Amino acid sequence: MRIALFSECYLPVTNGVVTSLLTLRETLRSWGHTVYVFAPGTQQPDDDADIFRLPELPFPRHPYHFARPFPRLSVDFETLGVQVIHCQHPFTVGRLGADTARRYGLPMVYTAHSLYATMAAYAKSPILRTMGPKAARGVVRRFCARADCVIAPSHATMDALIADGVRARFAVIPSGVLGPLIRPGARETVRARLGVAAETPLLLYVGRLGPEKHLEMLLEAVALLRNRPLPAPLAGFRLALVGDGQCRPDLESLTAELGIKDRVLFTGAQPHATIGDWYAAGDVFALSSPVETQGLVLVEAMAAGLPCVAVDDGGPRETLTHGETGLLVPFDPALFADALESLMRDPETRRRMGEKGRLRARDYSPEAMARGVLEVYEMVLKAPRRIKTASPERLRGAVGRLRRDGPS
């Protein structure tokens, strides 16, 4: 099969969408499929002949590469023999993909990696919080109406889209995750680099330092832990924030305000090829974002044997099993601190959760994702019918089989 992926971001940008995209592309290619990528940015040294770059806007300090408005394809698309177009976002590049699908009479699939209305509701800007959710719902509704199928990475994401008025044919397919490679001696090497002793608990976050991640809540939880009467060596715990983003200056300032500069380690962005070493160095993984559609980093952490603490909302509710692979807690610094402390004090529970997490992570294999996505491609090729006005009950019934085939 010949597939065209349209995305607002691709390498060298590293985030959950890019990771999911890379995993899907490489798995499909290993099975003999041809997968083209259309994404903004300049040509990279590792780009192959099937990656097509779109002109980008000049934002040198921003980690993303935004496409210029009204982009055009720089290749004779018809000669590629594409059979299915798969869009990853509903914005500039996504619209280009949808327009291309309409022009050449091809089915278009959309994966809802993010809930943009929810993200806007949690934004820092009061204007964005007030006006953003409604605008985002409109953009997403209109885009999904153009899709022959909408893929959601979790049932919670599908339900949220339906609640926002999206009427489409849905399939629930969690993103596949290739377990991180952990090199021999990685734990000791990374801890030495950070200056963290072997017996000191290390809390870990991996991901972008963006506003939607709400790392300020995690820092507030750390501040509360800092003031609790913890026994040695727990009292010397550290938090490593592995990643970078536009919120880093604000977060660094907040650590000073909270009096925890000595407890928080900003590592900056790390190559994904070595990210397993950072997981190996940690004892507990923490995810404070309330807007995760799935939480790929939770799967990576589980695959590395780490117990997780995450906000009890959205995708993490399906990714984690409370009390078995981690702890799900409300979006509250004190309760988050309680959960972190309970795991710091109980190494046996951490070990048990880590073992169950490794088993759970196997459900999220790249092969399972690719099989589900291929089934969607085959479905829309045979029946490119858009469901625009079906009720939620009919929608759930229409995709029941796909939902049962996904990870439980």
Q: DSSP string of 27-53?
A: HHHHTT-EEEEEEESPPPTT--TTEEE
- In the predicted structure, residue 164 carries a pLDDT above the cut 50: yes
> Who wins on pLDDT, 404 or 227?
227
The burial class, CB within 10 Å (0-12 / 13-18 / 19+), for 278 is buried
Q: Which pLDDT value is given to residue 404?
A: 40
The rounded distance, in Å, linking the Cα atoms of 96 and 305 is: 41
- In the predicted structure, residue 337 carries a pLDDT above the cut 80: yes
Instruction: For residue 251, give both structure tokens.
Output: 């977060």
Q: Which amino acid is at 354?
A: G
Angle formed at CA 385 by CA 111 and CA 364, multiple of 5 degrees: 30
Q: Which pLDDT value is given to residue 128?
A: 84
3-state secondary structure 319-381: HCCECCCEEEECCCHHHHHHHHHHHHCCHHHHHHHHHHHHHHHHHHCHHHHHHHHHHHHHHHH
147 pLDDT band (50/70/90 cuts)?
very high
Q: Which pLDDT value is given to residue 232?
A: 94
First vs last Cα of the chain: how many Å apart?
28
Q: Which pLDDT value is given to residue 69?
A: 84
The rounded distance, in Å, linking the Cα atoms of 41 and 144 is: 25
The rounded distance, in Å, linking the Cα atoms of 387 and 382 is: 15
Q: Which pLDDT value is given to residue 70?
A: 85
Q: Which pLDDT value is given to residue 125?
A: 79
Average pLDDT along the chain: 91
Average pLDDT on 367-394 reads: 77
Q: Which pLDDT value is given to residue 225?
A: 98
Average pLDDT on 189-193 reads: 97
- Long-range CB pairs of 187-192 (<8 Å, 24+ gap) are 187/277, 187/280, 187/281, 189/277, 190/277, 190/278, 190/280, 190/281, 191/281
Given CATH 3.10.50.40, say whether it is the number of domain 186-363: no
16 pLDDT band (50/70/90 cuts)?
confident
Fold agreement (2-176+366-403, 186-363)? yes
390 pLDDT band (50/70/90 cuts)?
very low
- In the predicted structure, residue 398 carries a pLDDT above the cut 90: no
Q: Which pLDDT value is given to residue 401?
A: 40
63 pLDDT band (50/70/90 cuts)?
low
pLDDT in tens, 72-89: 898 999 999 999 999 999
**What are the sequence ranges of the domains in the chain?**
2-176+366-403, 186-363
Q: Which of 61-75, 100-114, 141-155, 304-318 has the lowest mean pLDDT?
A: 61-75
365 pLDDT band (50/70/90 cuts)?
very high
Average pLDDT on 6-19 reads: 90
Q: Which pLDDT value is given to residue 393?
A: 43
> Who wins on pLDDT, 197 or 405?
197
Q: Which pLDDT value is given to residue 403?
A: 39
> Who wins on pLDDT, 57 or 305?
305
> Please, are residues 171 and 137 in contact by the beta-carbon 8 Å criterion?
no
Average pLDDT on 109-137 reads: 89
Instruction: For residue 66, give both structure tokens.
Output: 């935004």
- Helix, strand, or coil (residue 299): helix
> Please, are residues 203 and 225 in contact by the beta-carbon 8 Å criterion?
no
Antiparallel, parallel or unpaired: β 238-242 and 264-268: parallel
408 pLDDT band (50/70/90 cuts)?
very low
Q: Which pLDDT value is given to residue 122?
A: 75
Tell me the fold of 2-176+366-403: Rossmann fold (3.40.50)
Give Rg (Cα) of the chain. 21
The rounded distance, in Å, linking the Cα atoms of 259 and 324 is: 33
Average pLDDT on 222-247 reads: 96
